[in-house]
């Protein structure tokens, strides 16, 4: 679909739900649009993003789309969203609350505005007024397991459950914790339905960040597949919790149907517990390269190495990837989180957790994504931002 400031697309399925997707043009937002395209979970999608290029997937006839371009910091924009949803006949509004500034090296003021102030505006200008007008509003918030910090609390053994003490080590994680607290305040004081999803590392099509850099560099033959082997991570034996982007949407959709999920926090990752070394080896094999299994490098040196490689890729290929040294600094952590609470919620609903996910196994999911990079991503210039 061409860029529009405000557009309605008729693409339909009788349903009592509308889905509001914030951050609709990002990696997870686009996956959300794909997930709801069959028309079985909603009759209308209202998508919003600060960038104007709106992607509409092939959809069930009768499902309608509306896109409103604007900034969540602008209450006038949020009022337009509110008023549009109030005109809809559906009684239930599910807010897939995805939009955020996900950069560990971003400035505090930018992170706070995007991740906290915008969240407050969304609730007070859009979601609470919808609730006051009789809509059943269900807010599914994408948060991060990075809030747990270094996963080294001596009083709490791993895996980390939702009660593991929060100890955010960077400004991004701190703003996500503040946003969580804010939403739970609205849940307690105003009865707003809120479910918090603390997600592991999200990967998927259209990614310009994190693991996507390593995959593209390897596919272009510009990065040796390696394990950041250090004493801290037992030379690559630390766990890496991953989750396919569309699977976060499927989990959110499931939780939005569960009254028992209201006011609760869930760790979200796939159903595998691979080490960094295993993931790196599988990624290398899929990229047709050999891995340096005993590569040892200090975190600081690794950051400089990756930055240099990405800069070289940008110069030689004309692509514009995003590199974040704050993200690479976390590669030595043993990020081992429990998803027992989420699995119990599934069992109580008669749902098998693995069947809820498209890619319950990280390696299968990565193979799918690397194939997409090979056949589609690089050809479409997905990094050319």
Q: What is the pLDDT of residues 345-363, one digit of tens each?
A: 999 999 999 999 999 999 9
Would you say residue 206 has pLDDT above 70? yes
pLDDT band for 187, please (50, 70, 90 cuts).
very high
pLDDT band for 2, please (50, 70, 90 cuts).
very low
pLDDT at residue 308 in the model: 75
Instruction: Return d(Cα 187, Cα 205) in angstroms, integer.
Output: 33
pLDDT at residue 325 in the model: 57
Query: What mean pLDDT do residues 217-236 have?
Result: 70
Determine what percent of the chain is predicted with pLDDT higher than 70.
Answer: 83
pLDDT at residue 173 in the model: 96
Q: DSSP letters along 105-126, please?
A: TS-HHHHHIIIIIHHHHIIIII
Query: What mean pLDDT do residues 62-72 have?
Result: 94
Instruction: Return d(Cα 69, Cα 54) in angstroms, integer.
Output: 9
Residues facing 92 on adjacent strands: 17, 136
Least confidently predicted of 184-188, 253-257, 273-277: 273-277
Would you say residue 9 has pLDDT above 60? no
Pick the most confident of 15-19, 147-151, 309-313.
147-151
In 3D space, the residue among 1, 47, 7 whose CA is nearest the CA of residue 24 turns out to be 47
Q: What is the pLDDT of residues 19-54, one digit of tens each?
A: 999 999 999 999 999 999 998 999 999 999 999 977
**Angle ∠(10,134,62) on CA atoms, nearest 5:** 15
Distances (CA, A) of 361 to 10, 143, 189, 193: 36, 21, 39, 31
Task: Just give the CATH number of 6-206+242-270+335-358.
Answer: 3.40.50.720
Query: What mean pLDDT do residues 318-326 have?
Result: 57
pLDDT at residue 378 in the model: 79
Would you say residue 6 has pLDDT above 90? no
In 3D space, the residue among 169, 218, 175 whose CA is nearest the CA of residue 321 turns out to be 218
pLDDT at residue 208 in the model: 76
Q: What is the pLDDT of residues 174-186, one digit of tens each?
A: 999 999 999 999 9
Q: Who's near 126: CB < 8 A, 6+ residues apart?
A: 20, 78, 79, 81, 82, 85
Would you say residue 247 has pLDDT above 80? yes
pLDDT band for 1, please (50, 70, 90 cuts).
very low
Instruction: Return d(Cα 254, Cα 266) in angstroms, integer.
Output: 12
Region of 41 please: left (phi>0), alpha (psi -120 to 50) or beta: alpha
Would you say residue 294 has pLDDT above 60? no
Distances (CA, A) of 372 to 32, 35, 192: 18, 17, 39
More confident residue, 283 or 198: 198
Instruction: Return d(Cα 374, Cα 357) in angstroms, integer.
Output: 23
Beta pairing class for 6-10 and 64-69: antiparallel
C-alpha dihedral sign at 57, 385, 53, 201: positive
Instruction: Return d(Cα 146, Cα 166) in angstroms, integer.
Output: 9
Instruction: Return d(Cα 280, Cα 293) in angstroms, integer.
Output: 9
Residues facing 226 on adjacent strands: 292
Q: Who's near 117: CB < 8 A, 6+ residues apart?
A: 73
The pair of structure tokens assigned to 229 is: 């082997």
More confident residue, 96 or 237: 96
Would you say residue 140 has pLDDT above 70? yes
- The residue ranges of every structural domain in the chain are 6-206+242-270+335-358
Predicted model pTM? 0.90
pLDDT at residue 103 in the model: 85
pLDDT band for 366, please (50, 70, 90 cuts).
very high
């Amino acid at each position: 679909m061409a860029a529009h400031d405000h557009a309605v697309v008729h693409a339909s399925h009788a349903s009592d739900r509308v889905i509001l997707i914030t951050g609709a043009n990002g990696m997870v937002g686009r996956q959300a649009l794909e997930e709801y395209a069959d028309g079985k979970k909603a009759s209308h999608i209202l998508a919003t993003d600060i960038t104007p290029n709106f992607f509409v997937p092939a959809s069930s006839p009768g499902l309608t789309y509306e896109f409103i371009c604007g900034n969540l910091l602008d209450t006038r924009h949020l009022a337009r969203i509110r008023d549009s949803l109030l005109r809809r006949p559906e009684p239930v509004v599910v807010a897939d609350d995805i939009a955020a500034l996900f950069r560990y090296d971003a400035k505090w003021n930018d992170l706070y505005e995007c991740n906290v102030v915008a969240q407050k505006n969304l609730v007070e200008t859009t979601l609470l007024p919808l609730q006051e007008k009789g809509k059943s509003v269900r807010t599914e918030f994408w948060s991060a397991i990075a809030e747990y910090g270094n996963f080294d609390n001596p009083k709490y053994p791993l895996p980390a459950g939702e009660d593991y003490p929060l100890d955010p080590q960077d400004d991004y994680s701190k703003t996500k914790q503040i946003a969580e607290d804010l939403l739970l305040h609205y849940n307690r004081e105003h009865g707003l339905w809120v479910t918090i999803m603390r997600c592991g590392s999200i990967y998927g099509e259209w990614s310009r960040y994190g693991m996507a850099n390593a995959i593209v560099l390897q596919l272009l033959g510009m990065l040796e597949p390696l394990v950041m082997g250090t004493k801290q991570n037992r030379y690559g034996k630390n766990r890496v919790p991953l989750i396919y982007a569309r699977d976060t949407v499927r989990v959110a959709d499931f939780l939005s149907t569960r009254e028992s999920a209201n006011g609760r926090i869930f760790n979200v990752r796939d159903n595998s517990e691979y080490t960094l070394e295993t993931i790196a080896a599988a990624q290398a094999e899929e990229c047709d390269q050999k891995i340096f299994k005993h590569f040892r490098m200090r975190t600081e040196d690794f950051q400089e190495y990756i930055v240099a490689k990405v800069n070289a890729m940008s110069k030689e290929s004309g692509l514009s990837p995003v590199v974040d040294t704050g993200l690479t600094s976390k590669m030595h952590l043993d990020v081992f989180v429990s998803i027992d609470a989420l699995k119990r919620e599934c069992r109580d609903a008669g749902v098998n957790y693995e069947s809820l996910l498209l890619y319950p196994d990280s390696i299968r999911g990565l193979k799918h994504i690397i194939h997409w990079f090979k056949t589609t991503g690089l050809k479409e210039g997905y990094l050319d931002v």
